[in-house]
Amino acid sequence: MPRSTNTNVDPALDAAALLRRMGFFGLFVAVPVAAQVSRRATVVLAPIAVVLLITASAIDRRQRAVQPSVRRLLTAPAFLAGLLVVFWCGLSLVWTPFPGPASERFGNLIFTVAMTLLAYLALPDRMRSANLYLLPLGVGAASVVAILIGLVGDAMLKGNPDGDSALERGGVVLALLVWPAVAWLRSRRRDTESLVVAVLVAGALLTAPGSTPLFALAVGALVFALTNWRLSLGVKVTGLAAAGLLAVAPLLPFLARPVGAALFGPIAPGVLALKAWQKLVALEPARLITGHGLETAARGRIFGIVPANAPTTMLFEFWYELGIVGAFAAAFALYRAIQRSGRDATALVPCAMAAFATAFAVGCVGVGLTVVWWLTTLALTILTFVAVERGQFRHSRPKVGLIPRLPART
């Protein structure tokens, strides 16, 4: 008998589906888990996963139309303000005292932005639930790994600074990715599973060596509760607080130092850091306009340009390196991005605001301006939320009647 053939089978489409599944597995599972044991896992694995997603979209072309997507980006105020920040970073290479390291850092920034845009354009128009369920599984698995390392201990990881650094960076990854994972589960009405994932992440951060991820997660949880209670209020408070703090950052040492000295004493490390920041602002007020150039805050500590105890936060580095142009453009971009996210799918808004607050808290506590792993982590969080948003095209399963409806007689 002749062998039957199925004309609906397309090997190219099957290969694209496999590549896309591998790409999302890399982003949602491999990156969070590997970040708990390796300092460079995010930087190495994320681009590989993005290449797989781009290859899959090039094969089956299931992404959104490129030209309308690019047109929407180029007409979005937040995106244009972000481009201004990137342009000002490149222009600051003219007056930075460290052109070599600054050029390398700027190249990393351009690569991360380009990778994020290509991955955004390559995401399918409608995400499959099977791919998105990898996200909570990956976050949960990474939390279990972090808890085991924190409780049982591993001499290779805990006994050296690199091991502690990897655990703290892995904690930051968990603190950010838990929000899109919870958003996806809540949008599928799996509240119990979302609570389990959140508890696992909280437990992992309790055992982490640094307090930054846990503090940032607590800030995000407060914003989540506020936005879940009053949606518009949570969006407004998040946007105004984040953009306002970034816009008026040079005034913070003058306002916060007396309060910190009264509470913790004048020689507390945080108070001394605010004093160093205050002196830098008072000595060179004109440089608040242009900034000192990219990479000056980090390299300046080595060569004595910046005091060794100066803050290492995003707020300080934005103003010291990019001045009022870069800081105001970043504040505007952040505010408009938060406002735009508040108009998306209602089920995702509380978690989106929590993610904004968590990321901003991490930046305020002690992550530099253009650290590669931090930029990659932010890009991964953005792509994850975009993927979750594109998985909201069906909110409920269609009802199936037990008795088929007969066609009406004509």
Write out pLDDT tens, residues 279-295.
Answer: 888 888 888 888 999 98
Asked whether residue 72 carries a pLDDT value surpassing 80, the answer given is yes
Mapping DSSP to helix (H, G, I), strand (E, B) and coil, where does residue 102 land? helix
Q: Is the dihedral of CA 117, 86, 343, 42 positive or negative?
A: positive
Least confident of 209-218, 220-229, 399-408: 399-408
CA–CA dist 151, 154 (Å, integer):
9
- Stated pTM of the model: 0.90
- Segment holding 115, helix H or strand E: helix 99-122
CA–CA dist 278, 63 (Å, integer):
49
Write out pLDDT tens, residues 326-372.
Answer: 999 999 999 999 998 877 667 899 999 999 999 999 988 877 667 88
Least confident of 85-94, 151-160, 201-210: 151-160
What are the domain boundaries of the chain? 16-251+311-389
Dihedral, 123, 133, 44, 96 alpha carbons, nearest 10: 60
- pLDDT band of residue 16 (cuts 50, 70, 90) is confident
- pLDDT band of residue 183 (cuts 50, 70, 90) is very high
**What is the separation, in whole angstroms, between the first and last Cα of the chain?**
45
Asked whether residue 165 carries a pLDDT value surpassing 90, the answer given is no
Asked whether residue 409 carries a pLDDT value surpassing 50, the answer given is no
| DSSP characters over 329-385 | HHHHHHHHHHHHHTTS-GGGHHHHHHHHHHHHHHHHHH--SS-HHHHHHHHHHHHHH
Total count of residues recorded for the chain:
410
> How many CA within 13 A on the CB side of residue 36?
26
